Chain A
Amino acid sequence: MRCLIATLLCLLAGVLHAQEADLLHQVLAELAAHPQVRADFTQSRENPALAQPQQSQGQLVFVSGHGMLWQVTQPYRETLALTGARTARIDEQGQLQVIRNGDRGVAQVSQMLQSMLTGQPEEALRQFTVEAHGSPSRWTLRFSPRQERMARVLSAIELSGDRYLQGIDVEMQGGERTVIRFSGTRDAGTLSPLEARALGMP
């Protein structure tokens, strides 16, 4: 992890002002200090095709280096395991069902976001320029696509938080906007056997 952060800082040295680099360093170090986190989330999505925003809520478990479990409880029940390039659904019997494997093109954004949150920022830094604002106790990281191809679809991703990640905002060029807020963030404690298996942990 420290090694990753060092790499990250080297990569950013030329791009970021010293202050910003410093803040990013602190934020990532703070996030990395909690390798297993559980939080409640609400996700709200606006889309030009939607008459009113979509709302969903549930629980998130993320484990540094392995991936995350996205457990929706409202308005339907579903658990997704997002690990690297793979997305799998866990059905009622607890069986993993791969929905997507090795997505390419813009679908990489989601993958990039996962790896960013799970402590693997190289991919993110290849694809995005990062601006850091605020202080370690209240920060915002704004990721703008470097690739023109992607910039035509995606405007920006904004992460914000304090000791923990508190929010993710995703803005699309087509007018879609997704706002995710986290609450009750805490160390995950021991994972259930199903959770561990879904994340491919021993």
Chain B
Amino acid sequence: MSPRGPLWRAALFGAFALGMLLLGSWLLFGRGPLPIQTDLLAMLPATERHPLAEAAVDQLAHANGDRMVLVVADADDDKAKAAARALGEALTGQHVFASVTAELPPFDLDQFIAPYLPYRFSLLSDADRTALAQPGYAAGQTLARRLNEPFLAGIGTRVQDDPFGWLQHWLDQQPWSRSPLVPEDDLLTAHRDGLTYVMVIAALRGSSYDDGVQREALAVLDRAWQDVGHDHPGTQLLRTGTVFYAAAARAGAERDVHVVGLASTLGIALLLLWTFRSPRPLLVAFLSTAVGVISALTVTLLVFGQIHLLTLVFGAALLGEAVDYSIQYLCARANMGRHWRPQDGVRQVRPALLLALGTSLLGYLLLGLVPFPALRQMACFAMVGMLVACLSVFWLLPALSVPPTGKPLSPSLVAMARGWQRRMMRLSQGRAGLAMLALAAAVALPGWWRLGHDDDIHLLIATPADLAQQEARIRDITGIGNGSQFYLVTGDTPEATLQHEEALAQRLQALVARQQLDSWTGVASMVPSAQRQAQNRAALAPLFAPGAALEETLLKAGIKASVAQAYVTAWPGQVLKISDWLSMPLSLPFRYLWMNQHDHSYASIVLPQGQDDVAVLRGAADGLAEVSLVDKPASVSALFGRYRQYASLWLLAALVLVGAAFAWRYGRGAVRVLTPPLLGIGLSLAALGYLGQPLTLFHWMALMLVLGVGANYAVFLREGEPHTAHLPGASYASVLLSAVTALLSFGLLGLSTMPALQHFGITLLLGIGITALFAPVSLPASETYP
């Protein structure tokens, strides 16, 4: 090979790295908003078997998610209303809000009634339909009661339009009649416990997860409320909406990226400086890692179009593993002293690095097989990062580390490593080794015994308590449901869908009667099925039959002849169709409950209110055709549980694969090389048991990494030892160096605000720490120290 070869390769690699940097920057900053995803749901796979259910989850998230629900509260009624008005004015006209609803537009009560008049004979409350079906229904008495109601009769529907009050009874059941919020002084108001609550809704122009929208909306709200609060001291503001949760999650993740990224960078820098006692290795190591991380970022953006914040946090931690390759190379350089030739160094570390890279890629590949978008991203990120970092050692680093160094590894580190290595090896030979193994198992056993698991998604996503509390209060005051559990009712035609929903409504009504449910909101209560409407007309038909003398009943009760005639002539009116309803302005707030994906595929969403026990809700849907309870958190939890079980099997499979690779290279020695990672995994599990941490999917994912990284250490040591025979302990010192850098990065994830990452970090901290301590066990028995 010509001496120019390595230089050429380095130049080409440098150009590649620069290209990656430019492409990555363009992908990240050159295309409008930052392509960083903070939606936790977006990181999860589809959980519902019915494709419409996923669409329904999205539709609900959009209807409820891209808006702020604000509630102004004060004991003084006027003050609460004035503050709400001022807040509404301050938010209106801000670009970030598409619309702000504080003061209601002027409208006529007639608008609630007139659209239904053509359909009045098809719309009956359940109670009226039942009563009408009784033999001997006394229409005259119903009429007299309505006309002589105490205090007021002409409220709601007019007597001439609805003398018997049937339409009024049906309208009384409509969602806007049941809302705890009533229009008062043109504001949506509720009175509770001596406080006046006024609702203000601000719809965002854009997604709650859009970084720009989030920042601006929160800033505008804070400014507005500061002014309003100043003018109305003591007034409270309750807020809820996806945007607040998303902002909290983003702030937490950003903090994590900063803390983990900065702390691990600083820690690793100090450690490298101390070990190599020269700045060049530090710069070389960071360059290699940076090229790896930048390439990983760029490729991930190319493949996925956007990058999840979780991946970024994980990426910050990955620094610690990517830096291992350059550390091995630099240690070789330090150990060779004045005999150093860059290409010799490459030749010396190549087998160890390739074996290590192979096991790492294997580990991440297994991670990538999990159909979690977020995990796939992490796996892609890690595989590209590790591969490029490793290649940089072969192709870029030789050109950057040409001169030999006169400074060997920090002697104190080497001495420490040698001391521990001796002790470990002495203990691991023959009977002592078996006794040690038995002791470790005895210590671990009670820990294993205590291991449990918990897949509840709520344990994995930290919700700020303050936000959850405000949301609960707002739900309580406004009657808005929680939105994470709902019924999905499907059908081939609108009619079939509505009929299925009516079957569900019957069950829900029974729950309400047993006080197990407050209420529900669904399309069928606003547009009964054609079948139900026909039943309603059938119930009325005998009264309107030619010989039934309804007109006489009306006249006898004192109704004017012209009014009576007009009423009787209006029979039978029209059937209310879903298309009629959709075109009414009144339906606007409820249209998202109706879905029509294509011909022969219709669905409606039914939102239950006032029951958080999923078992009760699920029971109501039991055995009903085309009705299912969609419970996203529970589906996700179940999915996590399933993958947790798979993950434990995968770990076993990976162990077998890695074991096979070792057996191919080391023959019978493979058992020794495999022992440190095995001990790392086993003892970490025991420690988690003692800590009382229930296992989640994330613990198992971390254990997979422990296997990958732990195997690397054993390999580095086993492969490196023959080359450093003149410097006992130097090889183990380089492994310890790798381990500490990994602990500095992965271990810091234990400080994460996200429980999922925290679990991940703690497990890695334990696993890598233990594996590194036991790594000397992997050395062949013949090299026993006296």
Contact = CB atoms under 8 A, between A and B. Distances in A.
A106 B76 CA distance: 23
Interface stretch (B180-188, B228-236, B359-367, B656-664): B180-188
A102 interface: yes
A103 B148 contact: no
Given A108-B182, A109-B151, A51 B559 contact: yes
A47 B141 contact: no
Interface string B144-165: 1101101111111011100100
A61 to B, nearest CB: 13
A47 B150 contact: no
Closest 3 CB pairs of A and B: A176-B154, A49-B159, A56-B148
Interface stretch (A23-31, A143-151, A188-196): A143-151
Contacts of A86: none
B172 interface: yes
Contacts of B191: 123
Contacts of B180: 102
B172 A45 contact: no
A49 B562 CA distance: 9
A102 to B, nearest CB: 7
A45 B145 CA distance: 12
A113 interface: yes
Contact of B154 (A56, A105, A152, A172): A172
Contacts of A53: 558
A185 interface: no
Interface stretch (A32-40, A72-80, A129-137): A72-80
A50 B554 CA distance: 10
B148 A45 contact: yes
- For the side of the interface on B, what is the size category? 35 or more
A107 B171 CA distance: 12
A76 B153 contact: no
B185 A75 contact: no
Given A76-B144, A103-B177, A149-B109, A47 B182 contact: no
A43 B147 CA distance: 11
Contacts, number: 113
B783 interface: no
Interface in A81-115: 82, 100, 102-110, 113
A52 to B, nearest CB: 5
Nearest to A176: B154
Contacts of A107: 155-156, 172
Contact of A50 (B151, B155, B172, B559): B559
Interface in B243-265: none
A170 B152 contact: yes
A198 to B, nearest CB: 15
Interface in A128-168: 146-149, 152-154, 168
Contacts of B50: none
Interface of A: 43, 45, 47-54, 56, 70, 72, 75-76, 78, 80, 82, 100, 102-110, 113, 123, 126-127, 146-149, 152-154, 168, 170, 172, 174, 176, 178, 180
A109 B155 contact: yes
B151 A180 contact: yes
A24 to B, nearest CB: 19
Nearest to B560: A51
A54 B172 contact: no
Contacts of B159: 47-50, 176
B253 to A, nearest CB: 43
A34 B558 CA distance: 37
Instruction: Tell which of A104, A106, A172, A176 has the most Cβ of chain B within 10 Å.
Output: A104
A40 to B, nearest CB: 14
Nearest to B158: A174
Contacts of B39: none
Contacts of A153: 109, 155
A70 B81 CA distance: 36
Specify which of B109, B148, B172, B182 lies most central, judged by the most chain A CB atoms within 10 Å of its CB.
Answer: B148
Interface of B: 77, 106-109, 112, 141, 144-145, 147-148, 150-156, 158-160, 163, 172, 176-180, 182-186, 191, 555, 557-561, 563
Nearest to A11: B77
A96 to B, nearest CB: 14
Contacts of B77: 126
Given A47-B147, A56-B148, A126-B77, 10 more contacts: A50-B560, A54-B148, A75-B144, A75-B148, A105-B177, A107-B172, A108-B182, A109-B151, A152-B109, A176-B152
Contacts of B555: 51
A123 B192 CA distance: 12
B154 A47 contact: yes
A105 B109 contact: yes
A149 B558 contact: no
Contact of A80 (B108, B150, B155): B150
A149 B183 contact: yes
A11 B560 CA distance: 45
A49 B563 contact: yes
B534 to A, nearest CB: 26
B516 to A, nearest CB: 17
A3 to B, nearest CB: 12
A55 to B, nearest CB: 8
B115 to A, nearest CB: 16
Contacts of B154: 47, 172, 174, 176
Contact of A110 (B106, B155, B185, B558): B155
Given A48-B160, A76-B141, A176 B153 contact: yes
A49 B559 CA distance: 6
B435 to A, nearest CB: 75
A136 B378 CA distance: 82
Nearest to B161: A49
A146 B77 CA distance: 14
Given A82-B150, A102-B178, A52 B155 contact: no
A148 B179 CA distance: 20
A49 B163 contact: yes
Given A104-B182, A146-B185, A45 B177 contact: no
A170 B154 CA distance: 11
Contacts of B172: 100, 103, 107
A124 B302 CA distance: 65
Given A49-B158, A104-B179, A105-B177, A178 B144 contact: no
A113 B151 CA distance: 9
B185 A147 contact: yes
Nearest to B110: A152
Contact of A178 (B151, B156, B160): B151
A50 B182 CA distance: 31
Given A102-B178, A104-B176, A51 B558 contact: yes
B150 A172 contact: no
Contacts of B112: 105
B732 to A, nearest CB: 76
B148 A72 contact: yes
Contacts of A82: 150
B192 to A, nearest CB: 13
B148 A43 contact: yes
A175 to B, nearest CB: 8
Contact of B558 (A54, A105, A109, A127): A54
B109 A106 contact: yes
Contact of B156 (A45, A50, A72, A106): A106
19 contacts: A47-B147, A47-B159, A51-B561, A82-B150, A104-B179, A104-B182, A105-B109, A106-B109, A108-B182, A109-B152, A113-B151, A126-B77, A147-B185, A149-B109, A153-B109, A153-B155, A168-B151, A174-B158, A178-B151
Contacts of A104: 176-179, 182
B648 to A, nearest CB: 53
A154 B109 CA distance: 12
Nearest to A80: B150
A145 B393 CA distance: 83
A164 to B, nearest CB: 18
Contacts of B151: 109-110, 113, 168, 170, 178, 180
A106 B171 CA distance: 13
